């Protein structure tokens, strides 16, 4: 980590007019998280002493979205008078000896490496630049005959020759706080936009004989800014492609990287196979040999060795241990824990429940607020009736219980070890161990029963022949 005292200043006061949204631009989501969250996380690695975030319209929404943002100093920019004006609002908070890294809130994918390089630049003012095939709408980097950076010229103020320059301003800059504050006092708004442009500090610094350097990155994705949903979508695609590539490099077999989404972090073991349209969200752990079928969503969960998650399953805040089989079409809700070799099949919903080793709920069941022992069989259509309209109650099913199909277990209730519940039973009281509990009407046989017959249709009904 750099020894300099680093502060950061993120410009995030824009509403992103070009997105036509009621939401501040930095709250738009990339990979499932607000743009600003990406920047704050990446900056964290640099251990800056403070992060000043300049906000304006929708500031309450932004602050509310980051209730635990330690180290963030929210700075209000009530009038949006340009990027230079935005930094001016933060400047009074800079500590004199520090180096300030300035970033645009709408460019979320800058890397720790790039930030570290910027922090280590030996100059008074450093500018992060990149070559763009189509530099249209960006500020152009103007250099003198010796290659020294002398100015940044915005598209609207650029001459025809300047417009041909392909090296552009990414918006990332680093400067000594005391000099920066001084340069900012010289800014004016004599430009086509009538704004205080941060980019003008480059010419101000260069003219004052200060050392201005550029660090040109080749990572266009890292510095791509978002102004429209179209740009957001293409950055998302690019970002997801990279996520998939990184995982493949770690040995994960992703069947189609263009149909894989990571919206958080995943820790992977070996020999994992991920079929198409899988979304991993939050913090996910996949141990060796896990297979995930098509169209699964797995969020904040841990999947144990050799477990198979079959297609169309949705898993949230769940621990699935080794050798389990889940799905197709299973839903595991928060607080679920499947121990070793559990099978949860199609159209089974489990919430806040533990299933012991080797237990099975193969089809069409709801298991909520329940503790289920080892080697239990839950028949199709079984429901734990955990809610009485006011409170939730628990169901305990001990080891080796066999619950027949279509049973309703009205909680709170305990089914003792080794017992059997007859199909179609409604169990309202505790069942002791090793018994058969049946509660259903006895079957009656009515002989010679005549089923009602339909009257024959009239032949001359209109429209019928």
- Active-site residue list: 363
Return the number of the residue (16 or 373) whose C-beta is nearest Ca ion. Answer: 16
Contact 46, 2 (CB under 8 A): yes
Return the number of the residue (199 or 377) whose C-beta is nearest ligand UD1. Answer: 199
Question: Is residue 168 involved in binding ligand UD1 (CB under 6 A)?
Answer: yes
Q: Which helix (DSSP H) or strand (DSSP E) does residue 273 occupy?
A: strand 273-274
| Three-state secondary-structure class, residue 118 | helix
Question: Is residue 169 involved in binding ligand UD1 (CB under 6 A)?
Answer: yes
State which of residues 58, 108, 171, 327 lies at the interface with ligand UD1 (CB under 6 A).
Answer: 171
Question: Is residue 8 involved in binding ligand UD1 (CB under 6 A)?
Answer: no
Q: Give the range of 178-186, 195-203, 305-313, 402-410 binding ligand UD1 by CB under 6 A.
A: 195-203
Q: Left if phi > 0, otherwise alpha if psi is -120 to 50, otherwise beta: which for 62?
A: alpha
Contact 31, 81 (CB under 8 A): no
Torsion of CA 230, 232, 236, 238, to 10 degrees: 70
Contact 230, 208 (CB under 8 A): no
Write down the least CB distance from residue 83 to ligand UD1, Å.
4
Per-residue x/- mask for ligand UD1, residues 198 to 217, rule CB under 6 A?
xx------------------
Binding positions for ligand UD1, 110-149, rule CB under 6 A: 138-139
Give the residues lining the site for Ca ion (CB under 5 A). 106, 225
One-character DSSP codes across 156-216 = GG--HHHHT--EEEEEEEEEEHHHHHHHHHT----STT-S--GGGHHHHHHHTT--EEEEE
Write down the least CB distance from residue 352 to ligand UD1, Å.
42
State which of residues 197, 284, 322, 332 lies at the interface with ligand UD1 (CB under 6 A).
Answer: 197
Write down the least CB distance from residue 18 to Ca ion, Å.
9
State which of residues 40, 54, 142, 427 lies at the interface with ligand UD1 (CB under 6 A).
Answer: 54
Question: Is residue 222 involved in binding ligand UD1 (CB under 6 A)?
Answer: no
Instruction: At 316, give phi and psi (nearest 5°).
Output: -135, 125
Write down the least CB distance from residue 14 to Ca ion, Å.
7
Return the number of the residue (86 or 326) whose C-beta is nearest ligand UD1. Answer: 86
State which of residues 59, 77, 114, 325 lies at the interface with ligand UD1 (CB under 6 A).
Answer: 77
Given ligand UD1, Ca ion, none, residue 14, with its beta carbon under 5 to 8 Å by kind, binds ligand UD1
One-character DSSP codes across 59-115 = HHHHHHH-TT-TTEEEEE-SS---HHHHHHHHHTTS-TT-EEEEEETT-TT--HHHH
- Cβ neighbors of 378 (< 8 A, separation 6 or more) are 359, 360, 361, 362, 365, 367, 372, 397, 403
Can you give the binding site for ligand UD1, defined by CB under 6 A? 11-14, 25, 54, 77, 80-83, 85-86, 104-106, 138-139, 152, 154, 168-171, 197-199, 225
């Amino acid at each position: 980590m750099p020894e300099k005292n680093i502060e950061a200043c993120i410009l995030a006061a824009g509403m992103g007019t070009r997105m036509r949204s009621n939401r501040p631009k930095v709250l738009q989501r990339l990979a499932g998280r607000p743009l600003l969250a990406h920047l704050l996380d990446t900056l964290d690695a640099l251990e800056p002493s403070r992060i000043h975030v300049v906000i304006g319209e929708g500031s309450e929404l932004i602050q509310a979205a980051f209730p635990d943002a330690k180290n963030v100093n929210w700075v209000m920019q009530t009038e949006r008078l340009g990027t230079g004006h935005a930094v001016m609002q933060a400047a009074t908070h800079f500590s004199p000896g520090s180096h300030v890294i300035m970033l645009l809130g709408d460019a979320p994918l800058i890397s720790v490496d790039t930030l570290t390089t910027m922090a280590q630049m030996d100059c008074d003012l450093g500018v992060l630049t990149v070559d763009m095939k189509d530099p249209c709408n960006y500020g152009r980097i103007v250099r003198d005959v010796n290659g020294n950076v002398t100015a940044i010229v915005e598209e609207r103020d650029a001459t025809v020759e300047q417009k041909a320059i392909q090296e552009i301003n990414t918006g990332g800059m680093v400067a000594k706080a005391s000099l920066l504050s001084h340069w900012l006092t010289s800014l004016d708004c004599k430009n086509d936009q009538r704004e205080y442009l941060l980019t003008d500090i480059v010419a101000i610094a260069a003219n004052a004989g200060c050392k201005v350097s550029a660090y040109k990155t080749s990572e266009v994705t890292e510095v791509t800014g978002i102004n429209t949903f179209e740009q957001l979508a293409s950055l998302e695609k690019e970002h997801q492609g990279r996520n998939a590539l990184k995982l493949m490099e770690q040995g994960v077999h992703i069947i189609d990287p263009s149909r894989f989404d990571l919206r958080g972090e995943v820790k992977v073991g070996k020999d994992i196979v991920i079929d198409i349209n899988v979304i991993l969200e939050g913090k996910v752990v996949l141990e060796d040999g896990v297979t995930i079928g098509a169209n699964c969503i797995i969020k904040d969960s841990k999947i144990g060795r050799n477990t198979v998650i079959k297609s169309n399953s949705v898993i949230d805040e769940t621990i699935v241990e080794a050798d389990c089989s889940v799905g197709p079409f299973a839903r595991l809700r928060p607080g679920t824990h499947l121990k070793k070799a559990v099978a949860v099949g199609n159209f089974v919903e489990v919430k806040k429940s533990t299933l012991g080793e080797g237990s099975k709920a193969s089809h069409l069941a709801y298991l909520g607020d329940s503790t289920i022992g080892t080697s239990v069989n839950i028949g199709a259509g079984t429901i734990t009736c955990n809610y009485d309209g006011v409170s939730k109650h628990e169901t305990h099913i001990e080891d080796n219980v066999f619950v027949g199909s279509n049973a309703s277990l009205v909680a709170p209730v305990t089914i003792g070890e080794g017992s059997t519940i007859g199909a179609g039973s409604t169990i309202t009281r505790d069942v002791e161990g090793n018994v058969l509990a049946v509660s259903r009407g006895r079957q009656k046989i009515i002989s010679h029963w005549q089923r009602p017959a339909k009257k024959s249709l009239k032949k001359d009904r209109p429209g019928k022949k």
